Amino acid sequence: MMTEQTFTIKQTAELTGLSEDTIRYYEKIKLLPPPDRKDNGHRVYRRKDIHMIKLISCLKKTGISLEAMRPFLKASGKPDPAEYIELTQTLKNHREQIVEQISSLQQLVDFIDVRLEDGYPSGEYSVQNPEDGAKPISVEEMSYFPQLRKRTNRRIR
């Protein structure tokens, strides 16, 4: 009989890219189930634990709060269909927010590119010279720049 491979907390941290303290914190707030322990009290992790930790990391990168990801983690087994529909809609809504953030960031990159192509920042527009009356330009104001309108399909290089 083949025994399942196990990992120490140090190995688990290396495999998941999280610190040991973060893994312990996720256990403390019950985001992760308590790990099995060796006779000496040391934590023992299995592949399923590593997959769960990687799922948490992935969800966290999308901006979902630790509290809001609990239903996703619980449903990673076999959710009932009603719960699955609700979680799917939540994830779709979250995806839309991320797409909007990407769009806003792309506008900022385009704006910076225009400023650089136009020779800014230069002597006549400098953060060090606030007396020249220049002020930061908002995302809304950026939409009025004709140079940006013709670049709407351009992406970050």
> DSSP for 98-155?
HHHHHHHHHHHHHHHHHHHHTT-SBTTB-TT-GGG---PPPHHHHTT-HHHHTTTT--
C-alpha distance from residue 121 to each of 67, 106, 138 (Å): 43, 19, 17
Q: Residue 128: pLDDT band by 50, 70, 90 thresholds?
A: very low
Lowest mean pLDDT among 23-32, 42-51, 83-92, 105-114: 83-92
What is the spatial distance between Cα 157 and Cα 154, in angstroms, rounded to a whole number? 9
CB 120 within 8 A of CB 88: no
Angle between helix 47-61 and helix 9-16 axes, rounded to 10 deg: 40
Instruction: Write down the mean pLDDT value for the chain.
Output: 77
Q: Express each pLDDT in 45-102 by its tens digit.
A: 999 999 999 989 988 888 888 888 888 787 766 656 667 777 788 788 888 888 888 8
What is the spatial distance between Cα 113 and Cα 117, in angstroms, rounded to a whole number? 6
Sign of CA dihedral 95, 100, 105, 110: positive
| Element at 37 (helix H, strand E) | strand 36-37
| Element at 44 (helix H, strand E) | strand 43-44
The predicted model scores a pTM of 0.59
